[in-house]
Amino acid sequence: MVKMADARILVVDDEPDILSVLVYHLSREGYRVTTAVNGQGALTMADAERPDLIILDLMLPGMDGYEVLQRLRRADRTSAIPVILLTARRAEDERVRGFEVGADDYITKPFSARELTLRVEALLRRAKAEPVSASRRIAVGPVELDREAHRAFSDGAEVDLTPLEYRLLEVLLERRGRVQSRRQLLQAVWDTNAAIETRTVDMHVARLRTKLGGAAPLIETVRGIGYRFRALDK
């Protein structure tokens, strides 16, 4: 496995104890760690340092974690940086909201050093694997999309998709590996804040699954959250 050390990680937390624990473990793994103790600092740091990963506590004085995340995602320079949210709360809707705003992963306090480093490694690996393709062609596992030709392939064979199915697949592929809530998908695929039942997304996911075929479920269901295209990059 490729060693991911040398990656730069920005840790954002206002509690000194937690901050130091995080810095300790991450440094030990060989990451270069920088810190911020509030939202404004986090944004400044993210923009200046362009870290490879951000670990962000939800509870911050002033601007809270959600807002930091939202601003990160809106800014061109930082919108692609993977973010792990950190929270003491376990509530389900916290998670949902986090994913909807664009978090890539989630850690609840208390956490073990092992859990931390595992998730960090996983995210860095994934980020490296996907060179953020706005390109002509997206390929993930057996599925491919030729955007110029507007064609989709599964296992090399062309798959006939309706316009909506095509867009849905495109969005899922672009955000492969990340959970997308039904609402996010609605927003991305139907673009407007259309008055459409979220259940409708299920229907189209089912249609896509059928058309793409294959034994392994390429589009995974994340119960209570939404869907995720399996990240199968080689």
Partner DNA sequence: AACGGTTGTGACAAACTCGTGACGCTTCCC
Partner DNA sequence: GGGAAGCGTCACGAGTTTGTCACAACCGTT
**How many residues in total does the chain contain?**
234
CB under 5 to 8 A by kind: which of DNA, a copy of itself, none does 210 bind? DNA
**Residue whose CB is less far from DNA, 36 or 159:** 159
- The interface region with a copy of itself, picked from 81-89, 117-125, 142-150, 200-208 by CB under 8 A, is 142-150
Q: How many CB atoms lie within 10 A of CB 194?
A: 11
Interface mask toward a copy of itself for 18-57; x: CB under 8 A: -xx--x--------x-xxxxx-xxx-xx--xx--------
150/140 Cα distance (integer angstroms): 16
234/2 Cα distance (integer angstroms): 13
CB under 5 to 8 A by kind: which of a copy of itself, DNA, none does 206 bind? DNA
Residues 210-229 that bind a copy of itself (CB under 8 A): 222-225, 228
By CB under 8 A, is residue 191 in contact with a copy of itself?
Answer: no
By CB under 8 A, is residue 135 in contact with a copy of itself?
Answer: yes
By CB under 8 A, is residue 234 in contact with a copy of itself?
Answer: yes
Q: Which residues bind DNA (CB under 7 A)?
A: 160, 162-165, 190, 194-197, 199-200, 202-206, 209-210, 221-226
Sign of the torsion angle spanned by Cα atoms 67, 41, 3, 20: negative
202/38 Cα distance (integer angstroms): 39
Q: Using an 8 Å Cβ cutoff, are 60 and 102 in contact?
A: no
Give pairs for 126-135: CB < 8 Å, separation 24+.
126/82, 126/177, 126/231, 126/233, 127/52, 127/53, 127/82, 128/2, 128/4, 129/231, 129/233, 130/176, 130/177, 130/231, 130/233, 132/80, 133/174
By CB under 8 A, is residue 80 in contact with a copy of itself?
Answer: no
Task: Work out which of 106, 153, 171, 202 binds a copy of itself, going by CB under 8 A.
Answer: 153
**Residue whose CB is less far from DNA, 111 or 190:** 190
By CB under 8 A, is residue 1 in contact with a copy of itself?
Answer: no
Chain contacts with a copy of itself (rule: CB under 8 A): 16, 19-20, 23, 32, 34-38, 40-42, 44-45, 48-49, 135, 137, 139, 144, 146, 148-151, 153, 155-158, 162-163, 177-179, 222-225, 228, 234
